[in-house]
């Protein structure tokens, strides 16, 4: 593997076939530097999100237009504090900048984002990036925060020191965006001239990573003849920080700061040992309340839309199997899931608001103490937090945990966090169990039960597998700031689009399959309810009914449990299809489905969906691993079917046991 010469970097030779390709900019910066906000400001909705091949690092690219209509390609690289490699994210950052990834074009130039209010920390990465020899633009973001802290930044002086353009900016209000676009359009964008004089006889052009030891400028590996490489690297870091201090002294002036900033005053309450956790509970309670209260109107509108669509299509198509497939299978199945779109939007909007204002970092700080008590690594918080959206990226994110045992424990417990796919099941069943004004408390209780299970099993696994080395989390607490609504809505849109895409692919395919197995073989002489019982799905449900009957479930619920292994929310589609197939009425919206649940009776006359059965079913979904994607990613991350199988059977067994206890104890106590 060879490095690239910086000569010609950022230059596209005349006559080159690639000369007509858009110029590529790599966007780099520390976490909490405002890099994502700037990326959203530059690209808007023109973004693609995926993963880098071979690693589980998110890949974000977008298209940006210059002031004169030029088209630029923007690669948003993972946030990092330096080019030292300690995680897959940092490895991707380094390799893309050095042009060593065949799946990603070598950047023609770099936009390096730094927090103007914390230059003493952010200039470390800036100095490393400038030394790579790529044409570079340095963006000094959050100038308003710097001014509020009585910090005056001389962008011109810093530009002279680094030898590259330095653009003052406030990304959340788009101030400085025009100047940045003009700088991007420069054909003579300079490469940095700044170099840190490294100690000893080692040339200053080496990459700052001993595991590769690459010369950035001449592309030759460094001779491994250092007397004490570890001590030399410590000296290199100290030398670079000394240079950062010199740059800060040259380019910044500090006025008189108040004894306590606004952030400090707020944190005295939000990080308080008592009021901090109480505040987290209050915010989460408000979240669950809004999931019900604010989403009711939009949900009814979506439900009405699908009811209208089913009646419209049903009136156009001639009677027959294709008519039933479209109305009872596709529209009932997909519509039964998409009706929960408002709740998904509210959930991700409030989480995005917490993150953008800086409060989510405080939640991480508060939870770190609790996680340490059950044996979880401090670095596990961010992956586990993302599990409440989806366990798949959370499990992949566990790669940032260095200790293998701690990483395995995190992977094993992540699916117990109640992901967004469980939300449609919760919202379908809770109104049958709890009166309207208390439903948000019940929803909070389900999330709390899942979190308690996560903590309990983390405690068990950490003792069964043995404790790893203590690794406290280093959590950066950014200053509180006004939310950037544009950036928040973009992030919510990407999440909602993923949910819609899932409904249009996985759930659509499963809905069609469910309709087929619940319709065939056909027996025209039988009534619809009896015909459903004789279908392939009905026979399978009857086969497993003796196993699930102690939990209070009948064979139709059994069909839903099996189908939802593809995706948890498919349970709603399965129930919608089952009850629309056996009913002549095509209006099988959410309210109508709940009515059918309330009216459903067993042969002995007892209710199929009694409050106790609903509670048992909810508890089952809290603990069960009903997601084939999670099983696949666990197998890939652990490189073992043994751990994937262990996790599946442990979670299924714990779900069965918990549901069994709830139903049997409830019956013993006299509940219906």
| Residue 519: other Cβ atoms inside 10 A | 20
DSSP label at 223?
A: P
Q: What whole-number distance in Å separates Cα of residue 142 and Cα of residue 179?
A: 15
What does the pLDDT look like over 588-612, one tens digit per residue?
A: 567 778 888 888 888 888 889 999 9
HSE-CB of 248 using CA atoms within 13 angstroms: 20
Residues of the chain with pLDDT under 70: 1-20, 45-58, 197-232, 257-259, 378, 400, 402, 466-474, 525-526, 528-529, 580-589, 672
Question: Which tokens sit at 251?
Answer: 């380019």
pLDDT for the residue numbered 450: 94
pLDDT for the residue numbered 232: 65
pLDDT for the residue numbered 351: 83
Q: Can you say how many angstroms the Cα of residue 385 is from the centroid of all Cα atoms in its chain? A: 9
φ, ψ for residue 42, nearest 5 deg: -75, -40
Instruction: Tell me which architecture the domain covering 22-195 has in CATH.
Output: 3-Layer(aba) Sandwich (3.40)
Q: Are 330 and 310 in contact (CB under 8 A)?
A: no
Q: Are 165 and 189 in contact (CB under 8 A)?
A: yes
Helix residue ranges, H only, 466-569: 485-504, 506-519, 528-534, 536-548, 555-563
φ, ψ for residue 501, nearest 5 deg: -60, -40
Q: What whole-number distance in Å separates Cα of residue 556 and Cα of residue 221?
A: 65
In this structure, are strands 71-76 and 23-29 parallel, antiparallel, or unpaired?
parallel
HSE-CB of 471 using CA atoms within 13 angstroms: 17
Q: What whole-number distance in Å separates Cα of residue 165 and Cα of residue 541?
A: 68
In this structure, are strands 166-168 and 58-65 parallel, antiparallel, or unpaired?
unpaired
pLDDT for the residue numbered 4: 42
The partner residues of 49 in beta bridges, in order of sequence, read: 60
Closest CA to 298 of 342, 347, 346: 342
What does the pLDDT look like over 441-481, one tens digit per residue?
A: 899 899 999 999 999 999 999 888 865 555 556 677 888 88
> For 207-214, which contacts have Cβ atoms below 8 Å and span 24 or more sequence positions?
207/3, 207/83, 207/94, 207/98, 208/82, 208/83, 208/84, 208/128, 208/236, 209/83, 209/84, 209/85, 209/94, 211/85, 212/85, 214/3, 214/98
pLDDT for the residue numbered 212: 39
């Amino acid at each position: 593997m060879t490095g690239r010469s910086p000569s010609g970097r950022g230059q596209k030779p005349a006559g080159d076939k690639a000369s007509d390709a858009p110029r590529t900019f790599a966007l780099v910066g520390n976490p909490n530097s405002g890099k994502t906000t700037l990326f959203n400001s530059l690209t808007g909705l023109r973004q693609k999100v995926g993963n880098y091949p071979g690693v589980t690092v998110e890949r974000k690219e977008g298209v940006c237009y210059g002031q004169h209509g030029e088209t630029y390609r923007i690669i948003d690289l993972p946030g990092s504090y330096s080019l030292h490699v300690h995680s897959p994210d940092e490895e991707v950052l380094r390799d893309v900048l050095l042009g060593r990834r065949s799946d990603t074009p070598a950047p023609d130039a770099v936009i390096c984002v730094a927090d103007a209010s914390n230059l003493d920390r952010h200039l470390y990465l800036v100095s490393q990036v400038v030394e790579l020899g790529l044409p570079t633009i340095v963006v000094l973001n959050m100038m308003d925060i710097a001014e509020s802290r009585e910090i005056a930044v001389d962008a011109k002086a810093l530009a002279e020191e680094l030898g590259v353009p330095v653009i003052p900016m406030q990304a959340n209000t788009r101030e400085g965006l025009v100047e940045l676009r003009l700088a991007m359009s420069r054909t003579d964008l300079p490469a940095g001239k700044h170099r840190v004089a490294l100690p000893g006889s080692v040339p200053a052009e080496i990459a700052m990573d001993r595991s590769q030891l690459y010369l950035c400028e001449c592309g030759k590996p460094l001779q491994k003849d250092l007397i004490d490489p570890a001590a030399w690297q410590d000296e290199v870091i100290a030398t670079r920080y000394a240079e950062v201090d010199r740059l800060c002294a040259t380019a910044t002036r500090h006025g008189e700061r108040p004894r306590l900033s606004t952030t400090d005053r707020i944190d005295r309450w939000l990080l308080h040992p008592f009021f901090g956790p109480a505040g987290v509970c209050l915010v989460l309670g408000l979240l669950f309340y809004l999931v019900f209260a604010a989403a009711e109107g939009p949900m009814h509108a979506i439900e009405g839309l699908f009811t209208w669509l089913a009646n419209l299509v049903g009136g156009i198509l001639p009677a027959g199997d294709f008519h039933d497939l479209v109305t009872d299978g596709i529209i009932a199945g997909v519509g039964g899931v998409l009706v929960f779109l408002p709740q998904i939007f509210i959930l991700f909007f409030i989480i995005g608001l917490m993150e953008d204002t800086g409060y989510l970092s405080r939640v991480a700080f508060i939870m770190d103490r609790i996680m340490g008590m059950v044996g979880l690594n401090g670095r596990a918080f961010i992956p586990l937090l993302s599990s409440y959206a989806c366990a798949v990226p959370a499990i992949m994110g566990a790669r940032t945990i260095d200790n293998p045992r701690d990483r395995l424990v995190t992977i094993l417990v992540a699916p117990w966090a109640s992901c967004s796919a469980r939300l449609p099941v919760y919202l379908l069943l809770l109104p049958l169990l709890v009166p309207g004004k208390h439903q948000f408390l019940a929803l909070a209780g389900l999330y709390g039960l899942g979190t308690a299970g996560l903590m309990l099993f983390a405690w068990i696994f950490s003792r069964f597998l043995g404790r790893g080395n203590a690794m406290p989390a280093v959590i950066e607490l950014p200053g509180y700031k006004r939310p950037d609504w544009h950036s928040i809505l973009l992030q919510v849109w990407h999440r909602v689009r993923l949910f819609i895409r899932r409904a249009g692919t996985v759930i659509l395919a499963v809905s069609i399959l469910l309709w087929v197995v619940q319709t065939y073989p056909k027996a025209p002489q039988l009534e619809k309810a009896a015909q459903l019982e004789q279908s392939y799905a009905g026979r399978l449900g009857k086969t497993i009914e003796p196993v699930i009957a102690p939990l209070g479930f009948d064979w139709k619920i059994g069909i839903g449990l099996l189908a939802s292994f593809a995706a948890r929310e498919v349970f709603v589609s399965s129930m919608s299809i089952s009850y629309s197939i056996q009913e002549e009425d095509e209006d099988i919206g959410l309210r109508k489905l709940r009515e059918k649940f309330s009216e459903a009776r067993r042969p002995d006359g007892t209710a199929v969906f009694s409050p106790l059965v609903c509670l048992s079913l909810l508890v089952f979904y809290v603990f069960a691993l009903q997601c084939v994607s999670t099983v696949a990613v666990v197998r890939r991350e652990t490189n073992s079917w043994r751990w994937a199988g262990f996790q599946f059977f442990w979670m299924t067994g714990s779900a069965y046991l918990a549901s069994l206890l709830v139903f049997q104890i409830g019956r013993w106590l006299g509940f219906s």
